[in-house]
């Protein structure tokens, strides 16, 4: 897991472990008897149909409830370092567009330690890196054939947030956020192999935030990045019932 | 001869203390994290994986994410980007 733990010596850990190993057995037993399970993807990550503010949004939410649940489950099990935010999946209207324009949106936190070299990049380059790493791959999971053909859907939104830098002692963690809005026709071309990752970035409307502060529109460059396809959380095997292809 | 012996003992002890103790940076990290384990779940995970390769379940990952190690993060609200 990417979260840092306080650095302490292995010897201290081992001594403490031996001293309270009896307590561990009791704690493990308590946990085993707890009926609450985190093996299922949390249901609150998908916006429920009754929460849309227009008939168009509600109809899409109703029609594709199963597809959105599947998307939530796939990310939960196959990309466990991504955390879908509560109500982070839904047919939302991008705020910068006029009218009842519906995009399938996915809003995730990327659970990663900010490497010093990543922190030293410009915001533009961090946005470009995160776009390259996540947007093309998440679009492949989001844009099913049915959705691409649906005339009521106009595009796709991928929102990624990441820790900007390791917070100092007593300082709050600040997340940077990038939101990429991509028209459906461009996504369809990309999925058919008729547009490159670079062209996907060129045609996307991308905005960024530093914490709660809006940085405005960005023009990311993008390139092929197979991290999502190759990265494995050490020791973790996805639920075999879920297809991670 | 007797003095030399004591000098060796003092220097040896000082070297042992310097080598065996945490550095200032390590103590600072220790002080800024007032408990050895973040939570009972963190402790359980460490105890379960004391030797060999760790086995990570989806529950372990979910718990680590829900523990908010850094506290509440400063981030843009989804409502600033999207409308229902």
Please check the confidence at residue A22 and state whether its pLDDT lies above 60.
no
Query: Which of B35, B34, B22 lies closest to A11, judged by CA?
Result: B22
- Residue A10 maps to a domain: no
Q: What is the pLDDT of residue B24?
A: 78
Tell me the residue range of the domain where A161 lies: 24-230
Lowest mean pLDDT among A126-130, A170-174, A184-188, A227-231: A170-174
Q: Which chain B residues have a beta carbon less than 8 Å from that of A90?
A: 84
Instruction: State the pairing for strand pair A103-110/A155-163.
Output: parallel
Q: What is the pLDDT of residues B8-45, one digit of tens each?
A: 877 777 776 666 677 777 777 767 666 666 666 666 76
pLDDT at A31: 37
Distance CA A1, CA A240 (A): 20
pLDDT of A97-108, one tens digit each? Answer: 999 999 999 999
**Which residues from chain B sit within 8 angstroms of residue A3, using beta carbons?**
64-65, 67, 69
Q: Which long-range contacts (CB under 8 A, 24 or more apart) does B12-19 make?
A: none
Which chain A residues are within 8 Å of B28, Cβ to Cβ? 169
Give the per-residue pLDDT at B58. 76
Looking at residue B56, the DSSP 8-state letter turns out to be B
Judge whether B65 and A111 are in contact, CB under 8 Å: yes
Is A1 inside any structural domain? no
Q: How confident is the model at residue A7 (pLDDT cuts 50, 70, 90)?
A: very low
DSSP state of B74: B
Which residues face A108 on adjacent strands? A84, A160
Of A91, A39, A86, A42, give the one whose Cα is nearest residue A63.
A91
pLDDT at A24: 37
| Count of the separate structural domains present in chain A | 1
The pTM (predicted TM-score) of the whole model is: 0.74
pLDDT for res B39: 67
In tens, the pLDDT along A64-112 reads 999 999 999 999 999 999 999 999 999 999 999 999 999 999 999 998 8
In a domain, A14, yes or no: no
Q: How confident is the model at residue A171 (pLDDT cuts 50, 70, 90)?
A: confident
Q: Inter-chain contact A236–B82, Cβ cutoff 8 Å?
A: no
d(CA A93, CA A105): 9
Closest CA relative to residue B76, chosen from A108, A211, A92 = A211
Distance CA A201, CA A219 (A): 8
Residues contacting B49, CB < 8 A, separation 6+? A235, B55
More confident residue, B31 or B5: B5
Among A51, A81, A179, beta carbon nearest to B84: A51
Residues 4-63 of B with CB under 8 A from A: 22, 26, 28-30, 32-33, 36, 38, 40-44, 46-50, 53-63
* Position A95 in a domain: yes
A172: nearest CB among B53, B61, B74: B74
Query: Bridge partners of A46?
Result: A89
Q: Tell me, what's the pLDDT at B66?
A: 66
**What is the structure's pLDDT at B70?**
62
Residues of A in contact with B78 (CB under 8 A): 85, 87-88, 107, 159
Which range in A7-11, A21-25, A63-67, B22-26 is most confidently predicted, on average pLDDT? A63-67
Beta strand extents in A23-133 (DSSP E only): 82-94, 103-110
Residue among B44, B56, B76 minimizing CB distance to A177: B76
> Is A11 inside any structural domain?
no
- Across the interface, do A236 and B81 touch by the CB < 8 Å criterion? no
* pLDDT value at residue A130: 96
Is A120 among the domain residues? yes
Residue A190: pLDDT above 50? yes
The strands making up A82-94's β-sheet, listed across from edge to edge, are A213-218, A205-210, A175-183, A155-163, A103-110, A82-94, B82-83
**What mean pLDDT value characterizes chain A?**
86
Query: How big is chain B, counted in residues?
Result: 84
pLDDT score for B65: 66
pLDDT, tens digit, 9 for 90 and up, residues B38-70: 666 666 766 666 666 667 777 777 776 666 556
Rounded to the nearest 10 degrees, the angle between the axes of helix A21-33 and helix A10-19 is 70
Q: Is residue A17 part of a domain?
A: no
Hey, which of A112-116, A192-196, B50-54 has the most confident mean pLDDT? A192-196
A70 CA to centre of own chain: 14
Domain assignment present for A235: no
B61 and A107 within 8 Å at the Cβ level: the answer is no
Q: Which residues of B touch A163 (CB under 8 A)?
A: 70, 73
Name A117's Cβ contacts closer than 8 Å, sequence gap at least 6. Answer: none
Distances (CA, A) of A243 to A67, A71, A112, A225, B62: 14, 11, 24, 21, 19
Q: Supply the ipTM of this predicted assembly.
A: 0.79
Find the angle CA(A215)-CA(A131)-CA(A227) to the nearest 5 degrees: 145
The nearest CA of chain A is from the CA of B67 a distance in Å of: 10
Contacts of B46 (CB under 8 A, 6+ apart): A13, A17, B37
B49 neighbourhood in chain A, CB within 8 Å: 235
């Amino acid at each position: 897991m990417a979260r840092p733990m306080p650095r302490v010596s292995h010897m201290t850990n081992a001594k403490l472990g031996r001293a309270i190993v009896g307590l561990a057995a009791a704690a493990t037993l308590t946990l085993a008897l707890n009926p609450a399970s985190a093996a299922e993807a949390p249901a609150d990550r998908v916006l429920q149909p009754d929460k849309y503010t227009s008939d168009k949004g509600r109809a899409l939410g109703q029609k594709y409830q199963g597809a959105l649940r599947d998307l939530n489950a796939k990310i939960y099990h196959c990309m466990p370092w991504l955390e879908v935010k509560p109500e982070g999946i839904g047919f939302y209207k991008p705020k910068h567009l006029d009218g009842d324009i519906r995009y399938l949106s996915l809003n995730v936190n990327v659970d990663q330690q900010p490497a010093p070299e990543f922190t030293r990049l410009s915001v533009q380059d961090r946005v470009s890196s995160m776009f390259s790493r996540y947007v093309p791959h998440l679009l492949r999971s989001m844009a099913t054939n049915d959705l691409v053909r649906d005339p009521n859907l106009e595009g796709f939104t991928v929102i990624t947030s990441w820790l900007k830098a390791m917070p100092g002692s007593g300082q709050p963690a600040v997340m940077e956020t990038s939101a990429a809005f991509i028209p459906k026709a461009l996504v369809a071309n990309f999925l058919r192999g008729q547009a490159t990752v670079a062209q996907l970035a060129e045609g996307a409307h991308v905005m960024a935030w530093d914490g709660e502060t809006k940085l405005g529109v960005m023009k990311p460059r993008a390139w092929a990045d197979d991290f999502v396809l190759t990265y494995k959380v050490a020791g973790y095997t996805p639920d075999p019932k879920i297809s991670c292809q | 001869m007797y003095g030399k012996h004591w000098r060796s003992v003092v220097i040896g002890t000082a070297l042992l203390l310097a080598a065996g103790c945490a550095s200032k940076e390590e103590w600072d990290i220790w002080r800024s994290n007032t408990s050895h384990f973040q939570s009972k779940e963190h402790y359980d995970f460490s105890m379960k994986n004391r030797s060999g390769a760790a086995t990570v379940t989806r529950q372990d990952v979910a718990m680590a994410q829900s523990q908010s190690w850094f506290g509440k993060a400063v981030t843009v609200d989804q409502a600033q980007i999207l409308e229902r």
